[in-house]
Amino acid sequence: HMSHEGGGGGEMALRPGPPQAAAPLEDEDVLGEILVRLPPLPSSLVRSAAVSRHWGRLAADRAFLRRFRTHHRRPPVLGVFEERDGELVFTPLLDAPDRIPRERFSMRFWHVLGSWTLLGYRHGRVLMVNLDLALLLVFAPIAGGRRGLRGVVIPPDFVDGEYAVANGAVLCAAGDEQGHVHGDCHSGPFKVVLVATRVGHPVLARVYSSDTGEWGDLVVMAEPCVVSSFPSTLVGNALYWWLKKCQHEDDGILKFDLDSQTLSVIKRPIFNHIPSCSIRIIRGEHGGVGLAVCWYPRFQIWERMVNSHGTAIWVLRKTARMHSMLQYAMLTIVGYSEDGDALLLTVSFGGGVAAYSFMLQLESMEWTNLNQSFLEYSYHPFAYFYTAGTVRASSTAPAIEPPQQRSTIPAIVPPQQ
């Protein structure tokens, strides 16, 4: 607005107008609301950061990244780990530009004496055991190189005499603390739980804390059991392992309560004529321990609940129909991601027909065909909030790989709404 100043002279003066509002995409609050809703994939924030310095600063801000993880809660499944011929092998599952090269997270053990066995992955860390060296190796792939390695000596009573390590698990020490979102835990404290068995003798367990660098007291369960090699499942503050046999029965699940530091056996439903490779312990949608069972013509999800009488019972929560073509196929559960809430399954046929694998999201019952075939049952899905370019590694692997062809064969038919 312009006006004449009093007193003559005809001079013109400018009155200050209202302050101009920042452009919507330069307003940090508005921009944050937009960026936090981007898909939690490796390339999302990297692409946003390339728009401008302002966007880049916000995308790299620690407070924003915590908010980003809290908003999404569930990290994406980036790939799977397996032990193959003395090497920890990472197989990527996503397409470009989110596909992480195999070399980035793989690691060789050929120069180390003895044999390494992969026990599990959880919360950004891989757990491997070498019984010849009486050594555990905790590896955080995101940290990269030696920064991500931590060796832990196995307690003597787990490797001496007749007892042997039967299985184990690694987990974030934060547990289910309020406000903590698993998916960026690789630099924080962790725990390792080891289970040892001896034929006809009590089951032993110990917990290692990276905070103290020491093993806790020995936990003993008098009931003899044979623990399977299937990976553990974490539900709440308890770890669960599939049992091959317990007191001459084959319908048990071993439970280790992290709060009370106790071992116990819970009964599971009997599934006649269904092999254990078609069943997997999962985290139920209502917070209890669950079971995923796939055997033609049905895919089922069961959950252990406490009824009105205070008795723990197994409840059938969900059923989906399998595609008719699977009548002549073998469907195997080869991996499970707790944080990703997804199963990795493989369909195999006789007569030389190639197998194919797919990922099944348990909440939506939506499946995605993968570019790999996984033929064993001991794969460990890698679910994590990973931003491309943040890993520290000596590898010169490229940031992305080109997409590969996908199978288009259907598998699970979601239930009708």
* Residue appearing with tokens 């890993």: 391
Position 329 pLDDT exceeds 80: yes
Query: In the beta sheet, which residues pair with residue 24?
Result: none
pLDDT one-digit tens code per residue, 301-313: 999 999 889 899 9
pLDDT (average), residues 116-120:
92
Position 160 pLDDT exceeds 90: no
Position 279 pLDDT exceeds 60: yes
pLDDT, residue 392, reads 41
Position 357 pLDDT exceeds 80: yes
- 352-378: burial string, b at 16+ Cβ within 10 Å, e else: eeeebbbbbbbeebebeebbbebeebb
Rounded CA-CA distance 404/235 in Å is 35
Cα 128-383-172 angle, rounded to 5 deg: 60
Q: Are 159 and 167 in contact (CB under 8 A)?
A: no
What CA–CA distances, in Å, run from 323 to 99, 259, 347, 413? 29, 42, 11, 6
What CA–CA distances, in Å, run from 151 to 135, 139, 293? 7, 9, 36
pLDDT, residue 243, reads 93
Rounded CA-CA distance 352/349 in Å is 7
Give the chain's end-to-end CA distance (angstroms, integer).
Answer: 61
* Residue 56: burial class (beta carbons within 10 Å; 0-12, 13-18, 19+): middle
Higher pLDDT, 392 or 128: 128
Q: Report percent pLDDT > 70 for the chain.
A: 81
pLDDT, residue 206, reads 97
pLDDT (average), residues 72-97:
89
What CA–CA distances, in Å, run from 292 to 149, 229, 276? 33, 17, 11
Q: Are 130 and 86 in contact (CB under 8 A)?
A: no
| DSSP assignment string, 237-278 | TEEEEEEEEETTBS-EEEEEETTTTEEEEEE----TT--GGG
What is the overall mean pLDDT for the chain? 82
pLDDT one-digit tens code per residue, 198-227: 888 999 999 999 999 999 999 999 999 999
* Residue appearing with tokens 């033929």: 375
pTM: predicted TM-score of the whole model, two decimal places: 0.84
Query: In the beta sheet, which residues pair with residue 344?
Result: 335, 359
Higher pLDDT, 350 or 317: 317
For 386, other C-beta atoms within 10 Å of its C-beta total 25
pLDDT, residue 3, reads 44
Q: Which of 200, 241, 238, 204 is nearest to 220 (CA)?
A: 204
Q: Are 368 and 343 in contact (CB under 8 A)?
A: no
